[in-house]
Amino acid sequence: TVQGHTEAFLVTRRGVRFLACPLESKLLPTAPIAGQKPGTSGLRKKTKVFMGKNYLANFVQSTFDALAQTNAPVQGGTLVVSGDGRFYNPQAIQIILQIAVAAGVKRIWVGKDGLLSTPAVSAVIREREGGFKPFGAFILTASHNPGGITEDFGIKYNCENGGPAPESLTNAIHKNTETIQQLHMAAQFPTISLSQAATHTIGDVTVEVFDATEDHVSLLQKVFAMDKLKALIGREGGFSFKYDSMSGVQGVYARRVFLELLGADDWSLLNATPKEDFGGPKSASHGHADPNLKNAVELIQAMGIKSDGRKVENSGPFPDFGAAADGDADRNMICGTKFFVTPSDSVAIITRFAQDCIPFFAGGLKGCARSMPTSCALDRVAKDLNVPCFEVPTGWKFFGNLMDSASTYGKTDYTPFICGEESFGTGSNHVREKDGMWAVLAWLSILAHHNPDPAAELVGVEDIVTEHWKKYGRNYYVRYDYEGVEKAAAEEMMARMAADGRACCDGVDLGNFELATADMFEYHDPVDGSVSKNQGIRFIFTDGSRIVFRLSGTGVDGATIRLYLEKYVDPTGSLDMYAPEVVRPLAEIALKLSLLAEKTGRDEPSVIT
């Protein structure tokens, strides 16, 4: 054989045959760029920062350098690369391809048009057929943050279990970004066309561009009884719904699932074409592909809900069911006619009915979990079902460990497992990310279960939720966000409460509330033994009501203080009050004990959800 740099050929008795061979790579000098520390869900910065010289490349190279210290099979391995379609997604993919190839990756899977939702990436890593198990994935997304050249971009790395990288790895990546000197990139690697499903072979490397919905949707078809959902949508007595993809990546999946598989018509879909700026400032959401009462404007108008969560006066007609997804489609928002379901209630209700109507759970649920600030509604259901309910810090990776408890750590098996967060994330162990489409199909399953007679009057979302409150009581729940606070001021406010929460309550009139505990939440992972400190301050009252403070881990500018307010009312109490009013006394206490106004100069939250 004669070895060339970009191609090799074998001289045989029958002639010359070209062989796939290692591609040449080039070394480029670079220098560390400050601030490349991944947050709760990867590295997020202004798009222009990412477009700056070597910014993205430094981070990706640092990831490969960190992977080289682990036993991830990068050499000769398979990698997934795709994003939510925001501005700079196509260019970023090409840069990652070049670094991956130089690092020894031999097979790269990319969704058509460079698109894959976050849960779909997880499904692709775990499920995609072909005998090549990916060692990981780069997901190009800043989730629900606006996209566009003047907005945000982001990147996160997921591991071979399909879940976000653990802190040990993200810390190692960050460390490498502080010392990086060289980039290794494939020399003369062509730009790969992403606009069509095709397999590209370059030297000994294969780049496979495939339909973004394939793996995720076929997994969902196994999880849910799709025939029952189809029957619900086509039922004789009528069923109408609106699904808002908010111009994010979900549009691709929404068309496949709702139109092609479930037989809904176009009318049901809002903003189902992915856009690089999610519609931008002129859109109803102002380019914030974030499914909540503030940003999912088109959906809540369509459903007859006001931005403060109340019902509109006019009688409609309004659809029976409504839902929305964020930019990368891992979040979900659930509504009924004139009715908004809080994410905390949603996970509790899905957990309650899962075994009855979702085939994936038919054998019995074995565990559930919520993030600490999420309301305790789930705990009551778990108790009733007699399954363990874990309280973990904010961030999906903590759920992942519980899901992998048996498979990776040889400990108790908690799967099938359901989990959720107040931040509009819900999911299960079918993947290792929260899954916006999964949550919607779970709700359709619950609706189908409650409506066995196709001609009868529909038992709707509000009926199901109010019945739930009558059985378990209601955890009235509201979140106040103080965005763009000066970082030092926010940190000082938190430090004061962390030092002595009880002392902060001294001299504050607690009204009818009696303080039970005040502490900084610290998580001791029962699966891998790791300890996560400083996960938020909790004031818990004897009646189960809670005040929680935490600093957001996903912001790009300054600090965002989140204040979570929860008041429990048992089934004998008033269950149909207006949540923001119910929690107001708690908010007043929270402001006094935190000295929020004094410390930050802010007297009003920027968002109430």
Residues that bind ligand G6P (CB under 6 A): 40-41, 143, 371, 394-396, 421, 423, 425, 552-554, 562
305: left (phi over 0), alpha (psi -120 to 50) or beta: beta
CB atoms under 10 Å from CB of 596, counted, come to: 23
Whether the bond into 317 is cis, omega within 30 of 0: yes
| 143 classed as catalytic | yes
Q: Which two tokens stand for residue 376?
A: 């305790």
Partners of 520 in the beta sheet?
537
* Residue 396's binding partner out of Zn ion, ligand G6P, none, with CB under 5 to 8 Å set by partner kind: ligand G6P
Whether the bond into 416 is cis, omega within 30 of 0: yes
Please identify, using beta-carbon distances, which residue of 61 and 554 lies nearer to Zn ion: 554
Please identify, using beta-carbon distances, which residue of 145 and 405 lies nearer to ligand G6P: 145
* Residue 326's binding partner out of Zn ion, ligand G6P, none, with CB under 5 to 8 Å set by partner kind: Zn ion
Q: CA neighbours within 13 Å on the CB side: how many for 126?
A: 20
Please identify, using beta-carbon distances, which residue of 259 and 607 lies nearer to ligand G6P: 607
* Residue 328's binding partner out of Zn ion, ligand G6P, none, with CB under 5 to 8 Å set by partner kind: Zn ion
* Residue 87's binding partner out of ligand G6P, Zn ion, none, with CB under 5 to 8 Å set by partner kind: none
Please identify, using beta-carbon distances, which residue of 107 and 288 lies nearer to ligand G6P: 288
- Give the H/E segment covering residue 428: strand 425-428
Please identify, using beta-carbon distances, which residue of 143 and 342 lies nearer to ligand G6P: 143
Contact 568, 544 (CB under 8 A): yes
In whole angstroms, give the CA distance from residue 14 to residue 19: 15
* Residue 163's binding partner out of ligand G6P, Zn ion, none, with CB under 5 to 8 Å set by partner kind: none
Token look-up 């740099």 returns: 5
Question: In this structure, what are the phi and psi dihedrals at residue 405, rounded to the nearest 5 degrees?
Answer: -50, -45
* Residue nearest Zn ion by beta-carbon distance: 143
* Residue 421's binding partner out of ligand G6P, Zn ion, none, with CB under 5 to 8 Å set by partner kind: ligand G6P
For residue 582, the one-letter residue type is V
Please identify, using beta-carbon distances, which residue of 21 and 607 lies nearer to ligand G6P: 607
Please identify, using beta-carbon distances, which residue of 143 and 351 lies nearer to ligand G6P: 143
Contacting residues toward Zn ion, per CB under 5 A: 143, 326, 328, 330-331
* Residue nearest ligand G6P by beta-carbon distance: 552
Of 82, 122, 143, 344, the catalytic one is 143
Please identify, using beta-carbon distances, which residue of 214 and 330 lies nearer to Zn ion: 330
* Residue 379's binding partner out of Zn ion, ligand G6P, none, with CB under 5 to 8 Å set by partner kind: none
- Minimum distance from CB of 325 to Zn ion (Å)? 8
Q: What is the DSSP-derived secondary structure letter of residue 268? A: G
Give how far the C-alpha of residue 391 lies from the chain's centroid of Cα atoms, to the nearest Å: 18
Question: In this structure, what are the phi and psi dihedrals at residue 28, rounded to the nearest 5 degrees?
Answer: -120, 135
- Minimum distance from CB of 109 to ligand G6P (Å)? 22
- Minimum distance from CB of 365 to Zn ion (Å)? 25
In whole angstroms, give the CA distance from residue 175 to residue 566: 39
Burial of residue 204 (number of CB atoms within 10 Å: 0-12, 13-18, 19+) = middle
- Minimum distance from CB of 270 to Zn ion (Å)? 18
- Minimum distance from CB of 490 to ligand G6P (Å)? 13
Q: Which two tokens stand for residue 501?
A: 């929460």
Q: What is the DSSP-derived secondary structure letter of residue 165? A: P
Q: Which of 117, 360, 352 is nearest to 257 (CA)?
A: 117
* Residue 345's binding partner out of ligand G6P, Zn ion, none, with CB under 5 to 8 Å set by partner kind: none
- Minimum distance from CB of 393 to ligand G6P (Å)? 9
- Minimum distance from CB of 136 to ligand G6P (Å)? 17
Q: What is the DSSP-derived secondary structure letter of residue 3? A: E
E-strand stretches of 211-265: 241-244
Q: Which two tokens stand for residue 349?
A: 């209700």
- Minimum distance from CB of 46 to ligand G6P (Å)? 17
Active site residues: 143
